A and B are shown apart, each in its own frame.
Chain A
Amino acid sequence: MIHRYKSNGYNIIIDGNSGAVHSVDALAYDIIGMYENTPKDEIVTQMLDKYKDQPDITESDIRDVFADIEELIDKKKLFSKDAFAPVAFDFKKRQSVVKALCLHIAHDCNLACKYCFAGKGEYCGEKSLMSFEVGRAAIDFLIAASGTRRNLEVDFFGGEPLMNLEVVKRLVAYGREQEALHNKNLRFTLTTNGILLDEQVMEFANREMSNIVLSLDGRREVHDRFRVSRSGRGSYDIILPKFKKMAALRNHRNYYIRGTYTHFNTDFACDILHMADLGFREISMEPVVAPPSEPYALTEQDVALLCEQYELLAVEMLKRSKKGEGFNFFHYMIDLEMGPCIIKRISGCGVGSEYLAVTPTGELYPCHQFVGDEGFLLGNVYDGVTNTALRDSFKLCNVYTKKECGDCFARLYCGGGCAANSYHSSGDINGTYKIGCDLHRKRIECAVMLKVAEAFLRD
């Protein structure tokens, strides 16, 4: 399975099964497109006709390309076969450990963002804050369920986690005690809307949080359209100075400015560039998660526009990088040489087995996007995972159980996509979310193009 595409003046071939990436000229691009289904003599005839205005392209050149293609086929870097299917069906037998917990430290929020998948932070339930006792039991559960793995992750999530700051501080202190006792390395992370950020919070977060996500949607009018207080007032002017200070205090590393785009800002590249112009260097922007009935939900008609925006963004990033004004965009930070192994690529994000969400009362769910849906209750922090059948269904969910992934070049870059998005879109965690897939494919194309451009600049 190969994928051919043109981007920013480059002709690119991705060999889906081997992960190989080739940058080719126009002639090779055409020949590779015909190679599997057209006799070689016919390819020669067609190419000589197509390139008749270019006398330097001869039959010998065309046959040289055939030889190059054969060499790459022999090396299993072009038209390579899928050799991984047998690996995928052993997943239920694989011993997996819990690596990370998403602690819903607060089912409450001091903003009332209109697009919030958590229903203003309350997850369609009652407002509640996690007690220290529940959080402590969660950390104990994580350490006990983590086997020999040393690096463990605890994310403080909400709602707005800073509405329960004292418990956050006590849990971090408890975690530090326990990691020393059990030879673990606990990494804490925090997602915040910024309203409660002050100097004391920043000092604590910079000391203890290995990563921080700061929620900002971009331009003031875009941000303030959705991210409003309970009284309906926009939050851009309140949080922006705090976020700038926070990024500077972290030396512009180990944080993300993270936005959400909707049907109302399909020109979202402008928002990303706005954030870069504000001085932020680590930026992420995600499509909104919403039922299709919502007016701000993304539509099939939006996809072409959104893909154009990803392309515009990649080209602009390249320009800025050449001028020494580069910034990172989360989805374009792909590592072709040292990325995940094939097991990880097939099995995906770890939802439901390696990564779990904990509610304020200690219930375990497959991830933050399933919280509140009783059909996905896995257990609790005191008894552990008791619904092992549900856990196993997530362990078995992979690119080979999703029929739509079968002929997708990007499947080994996305791991089958988001199980929650698939479930909410198709009613099945083994389904897919078409808009999400279309956007992910485009992001992979752009990320690979940037790698090709980097390689050319290096040479």
Chain B
Amino acid sequence: MKRIQTLETKDLPKSAEKGGCGECQSIVNLCE
């Protein structure tokens, strides 16, 4: 088994380029 396993996660730096449309609804709970 690999010693480091990386989970699939949102690419936050990329979301700085495309995000911010304002169509979102603790903040951890969604983009619409």
Question: What is the interface of chain A, defined by CB distance below 8 A to chain B?
Answer: 17-25, 27-28, 61, 64-65, 68-69, 72, 76-77, 80, 83-84, 87, 94, 96-97, 99, 149, 151, 153, 330-331, 333-345, 348-349, 354, 412-415, 440, 444, 447, 451-452, 455
B12 touches A68 (CB 8 A): no
Q: Are B19 and A343 in contact (CB under 8 A)?
A: yes
The answer on a CB contact under 8 Å between A97 and B9 is no
Which residues of B have CB within 8 Å of A151?
23, 25, 32
Q: A18 touches which one: B8, B12, B30 (CB < 8 A)?
A: B12
Q: Is the Cβ of B22 less than 8 Å from the Cβ of A24? A: no
CB-based contact B31/A338 at 8 Å = yes
How distant is the Cα of A94 from the Cα of B22 in the complex, in angstroms?
Answer: 10
Inside 8 A of B7's CB, which chain A residues have their CB?
Answer: 20-23, 336, 451-452, 455
A87 and B30 alpha carbons, distance in the complex (Å): 20
The CA of A412 and the CA of B23, in the complex, are separated in Å by: 18
- Across the two chains, which residue of chain A brings its CB closest to B2? A68
Using Cβ atoms and an 8 Å threshold, which residues of chain A touch B23? 149, 151
CB atoms of A65 and B3 under 8 A apart: yes
How many Å from the CB of A158 to the closest CB on chain B?
22
**A96 CA to B15 CA, complexed, in Å:** 18
Q: Are B4 and A28 in contact (CB under 8 A)?
A: yes
A83 to B11: give the CA distance in the assembly, Å.
Answer: 13
Cβ A83 vs Cβ B4 within 8 A = no
* Interface residue from B3, B15, B16, B30 paired with A335 (Cβ < 8 Å): B30
> Hey, which chain A residues are within 8 Å of B32, CB to CB?
151
Could you write out 6 A-B pairs with CB less than 8 Å apart? Answer: A18-B11, A18-B13, A83-B16, A335-B28, A340-B31, A354-B22
- Cross-chain contact A25 with B12 (CB below 8 angstroms): no
CA gap between A230 and B4 in the complex, in Å = 58
Check B6 against A415 for contact (C-beta < 8 Å).
no
Contacts known (A68-B3, A94-B20); A340 close to B13, Cβ less than 8 A: no
In the complex, A97→B20 CA distance in Å?
Answer: 12
The reply to whether A331 and B22 form a contact with Cβ atoms under 8 Å apart is no
Instruction: Say whether, besides A19-B10, A68-B4, A337-B8, A343 and B15 are in contact (CB < 8 Å).
Output: yes
A333-B28, A349-B27 known; A149 vs B22 contact (CB < 8 Å):
yes
- Bound complex: CA of A80 vs CA of B6, how far in Å? 14
- Contact indicator A338/B27 (Cβ below 8 Å): no
Q: Considering the complex, give the chain A residue whose CB is closest to the CB of B7.
A: A21
Interchain CB contact (< 8 A) of A348 among B5, B8, B9, B27: B27
Which residue of A20, A80, A341 contacts B15 across the interface (Cβ within 8 Å)?
A341
Contact B27 A344 (CB under 8 A): yes
